[in-house]
Every structure is written in C-alpha cells, then in structure tokens.
Amino acid sequence: MAHFDENAKPYSHKWLNERLAVDALQRVLSTEYWIPKNINFLWAMGMVLAATFGILLISGIFLLMYYQPNVNTAFDSVNYTIMREVDFGWLWRHVHGVAASVVFLIIYIHMFTGIYYGSYKKGREMIWISGMLLFVAFSAEAFSGYMLPWGQMSYWAGMVITNLFSGGSLHADGLVEWIRGDYVPAQAFLTRFFMLHVLLIPLAIMGLIGLHFGALRIPHVNNQDGEEIDFDAEAKKYLDGDKAGSKVMRFANDFMSKDMMVVGVYLIFFFYLVFYNYGFAMDPVNFDPADGLKTPAHIYPEWYFLWSYEILRPFSIDIGLIAFAFAQVIFMLLPFLDRSPNTVTANRRGALKYWFWLMLVNMIVLTTMGKLPPEGIFSQIGFVSAILFVVMWIALPFITAREKKV
C-alpha cells in the first residue's frame, strides 16, 4: 500500500528553502506573527491601504501605456486618447483618480486611529515615524501625479507650490528654477515630475512599506484597550491548543481573514465611487488646458492638502512658510511630544481626550476653509484655526506631562 506523507513538500520548495529560508520567513511574517484579539476593524486600514496602493500601481501601468509626457500632447493624451479613444480608458482613469483621493482618506483614518489608541508609544516610535514617512511619500506622489494631466489647475498648482521653495524673504529663486528646470513650469518641469511619479517615488513608497511592516513585527501591534500582553506566553497557550483562552491569534490566516472582510466592504464602496461619484476626484478647472497667461480665479490644491494650505494662507509670506513647515513635520514628532506614561485610548487620558477631538475637528475646519476663497468670515475662521493648530501642538508636551498613570 502506498504511503503518503502529509508533510511532504515539493522539491522546488526544498530547493528554495535551502537558499532563501522561506519556511523561517513564513513563520516570522505570518504563521508566528501574533496579533492581539482585542482589536477592531480600524486595525485593517493598513491592509486597505496596501490594497489601494496595488490598485494605483495596476491602473497607473495601464495609463502609462497611452500617456505622453509632453506639454503639447499631455492634455490631449489624457482627456481625448485615454478618455475617448482607448477601450475602457475612462475606467482606468476613474479608478486611478478615485484611488489617489481615497487613499488619503484611509491614511487620515489610519493616522488618527494611531493617535487615539496611542499606537506610537512604548517602543512603537519607528512604526509611527515610518508611517508618517509613507504619508510624505504618498503626498509627493499625489502632487507629482496632479501635474501630469497638464490642465489649468495642474499648471498653477505647480507654479504656486514650487514658489514656496523661494523661502519668502530669502528670495531663493535659483532653487525654484532648479526644481522647475526653467523660469516657469514647462517641458523640463513636466518631464521631471513624470519621472518622480512613475519611478522614484513609487520605489521609495515600496521601500517604506517594507520598513513599516518590519517595524510592526518587532514590538507587536497595539490593542484597543492598551493592555500589556505577554506575547510569548499567549502564543505558547495558542500553540498548545488553548486558542479560545489565548489573547493572541496568528496573522495568517486568522487576522488576515478579518482584514480581507474589511477590504471586501471597502472595495464595494470604492467601485461605487468609481462608477457613480468619481467627480469629486477630478477638478473641473483641470479640464481646461494649461495656460500660463490665464490665472484661475481661485487656486487651491486637492482636498487632502487643504488643511496644510490653509495653515499657510492666512499669514504673511515668511510667517506662513514657517507655519507650513511646522505643520509638515509636527505629526512625525508626536512620539517625543507625548510625555505621558500611558498607552491607553485618548478617552481615558484626561485632558488629552479634549486635545484629540479638538484637533480632529480643527483639521476638518482647516480642510473646509482651504477650499473656500479667503474672504470675509472664511478668512477669519481660517486664521483662528491655523493659530489654534500651532498652539495645540505647542501645548501637547505640557498637557501630557501632567497626566497621571492610569
């Protein structure tokens, strides 16, 4: 009678395992990567982000086949060739545009979830820092992609944002010209941002994703109760057969199945936007060809940059640039500004509870004001919100230093 070994593996697996230690890698990254049970669906946002990045890569490759990075043909290649002549070209553009916008909604949810649950504390600083570096990389990727259709808002947003590098009173015009490759956004500018968008920044994002997942593996994932879990003891309990009594579960396939359920629900929402409400991801002003002699009545960035744009706008050029630079780096410093010993939810941390919810509301107000013309009451609200943003971050170390151990 033939005997079958259930643990027998093909020769190819043995060959790869001898050279790449695939079994050890699988244990480290999945089957012996332990996740707390007491977490909710918000912990799946990382997988949702990874899925959205995959959608961006695939749709971007299809668009790349027909896009022409030339100031004379870029606009037509997007709005005529891709949208009208290529079969399902409109679909790939809608998918790419919606994904580029929705990815920031997920990033902000992921970021504020981390703040609320204190997922940046007690040895998890590199998780937070690598995540914020990913936010910067995605922001650069989105801005470079916004230039490529070469519409009116592409041109003028590029003009305004690159002017920031002049440094206000420093008058570093040479730096601005070096970035643009010319005195104004033109062919050299478009070529450079095309290279950044399709090659350099995606490589940086993939490297940072690897760093982020690696940083997650070392101190383990935080949980929604802030409970200190002995992962070794709980993993042993799980492996000994007490899966119900253990406080942890495997990443694969226990936690992964929950991740995939959330991703599935997200994809329903995503494709609803792609087919029925894609307009929010495409500025109507950008359907006019770039014209350096015709300034739009109101220049503004995409919605995910509006909060930082509104921090820049109410002040004089020098103070505005300082406030803008402050806003770009301050979130990354959060693990060092929070002086509290507690790793529990914000609602259990006294004054920080009010700081968190006020910061969240203020970010929404800044985003709303950034889209509106800086006139009348809108200008005043934007100014107060920008001041409040800076003051709250300066106050954070003092608020958390007075916090008692929970």
Instruction: Report residue 297's pLDDT band, with 50, 70 and 90 as the boundaries.
Output: confident
- Does residue 9 surpass a pLDDT of 80? no
Per-residue pLDDT reduced to its tens digit, 378-397: 999 999 999 999 999 999 99
Domains of the chain: 25-282 (1.20.810.10), 306-406 (no CATH)
- C-alpha distances in angstroms, 239 versus 35, 37, 227, 249, 292? 14, 15, 21, 10, 66
What's residue 4's pLDDT?
47
From residue 370, alpha-carbon distances to 90, 142, 206, 314, 321 in Å are 29, 18, 31, 10, 16
Residue 179 clears pLDDT 70, i.e. is over it: yes
Query: Does the pTM of the predicted model rise above 0.85?
Result: yes
Please give the structure tokens belonging to residue 94.
């809608």
Q: Grade residue 1 by pLDDT with cuts at 50, 70 and 90.
A: very low
Tokens describing residue 177? 């010209």
Please give the Cα distance from 387 to 307 (Å, whole number): 12
Per-residue pLDDT at 200: 96
Over pLDDT 70: what percentage of the chain? 98
The Cβ-side half-sphere exposure at 395, using a 13 Å CA radius, reads 14
Within a 10 A sphere around the Cβ of 14, how many other Cβ atoms?
13
At residue 219's C-alpha, the angle toward residues 393 and 205, to 5°, is 70
Residue with tokens 């609803």: 272
CA distance 292 to 186: 10
Ranges 126-135, 209-218, 260-269: which has the least confidence: 209-218
If you write DSSP's letter for every residue of 292-315 in order, what string do you get?
TTS--SS----GGGHHHHHHHTTS
User: Which pLDDT score, from 0 to 100, does residue 7 have?
Assistant: 59
Tokens, residue 3: 């005997």
* Rounded Cα–Cα distance for residues 120 and 129 (Å): 8
pLDDT of residue 53: 96
Distances (CA, A) of 105 to 20, 272, 295: 37, 16, 29
- Region of 287 (left: φ > 0; alpha: ψ -120 to 50; beta: rest) is alpha
Confidence band, pLDDT 50/70/90 cuts, at residue 228? confident
The amino acid present at 340, given as its one-letter code, is S
Q: How confident is the model at residue 171 (pLDDT cuts 50, 70, 90)?
A: confident
pLDDT at 254: 83
CA 130 centroid distance within chain: 11
Q: Are 152 and 290 in contact (CB under 8 A)?
A: yes
pLDDT at position 5: 52
Q: What band does 87 get if pLDDT is binned at 50, 70 and 90?
A: very high
pLDDT-based confidence at residue 271 (cuts at 50, 70, 90) = very high
The rounded mean pLDDT for the chain is 90
Beta bridge partners of 289: 151
pLDDT at 218: 78
The whole-number average pLDDT for the span 4-33 is 75
| DSSP E strand boundaries for 143-200 | none
Nearest to 83 by CA among 157, 36, 151, 182: 151
- Convert 154-175 to b/e letters by CB count within 10 Å (16 or more is b): bbbbbbebbeebbeeeeeeeee
**Mean pLDDT, rounded, for 81-90:** 95
Joined together, the tokens standing for residue 355 give 């700081």
Average of pLDDT values for 12-39? 81
pLDDT of 8 reads 62
**Cβ contact 229:223 at 8 Å:** yes
Does residue 227 or residue 308 have the better pLDDT? 308
On whether the CB atoms of residues 97 and 40 are closer than 8 A, the answer is no
Q: What is the DSSP string of 333-400?
A: GHHHH---S--S-GGGSTHHHHHHHHHHHHHHHHHHHHHS-S-HHHHHHHHHHHHHHHHHHHHHHHHH
Over 70: is that where the pLDDT of 6 sits? no
Cα–Cα distance between 337 and 340 in angstroms, integer?
9
More confident residue, 253 or 6: 253
For tokens 């509870």, what's the residue? Answer: 353
- Beta-bridged to residue 34, according to DSSP, are 250
Residue 213 backbone class (left: φ over 0; alpha: ψ -120 to 50; beta: rest): alpha
Cis peptide before 70 (omega within 30 of 0): no
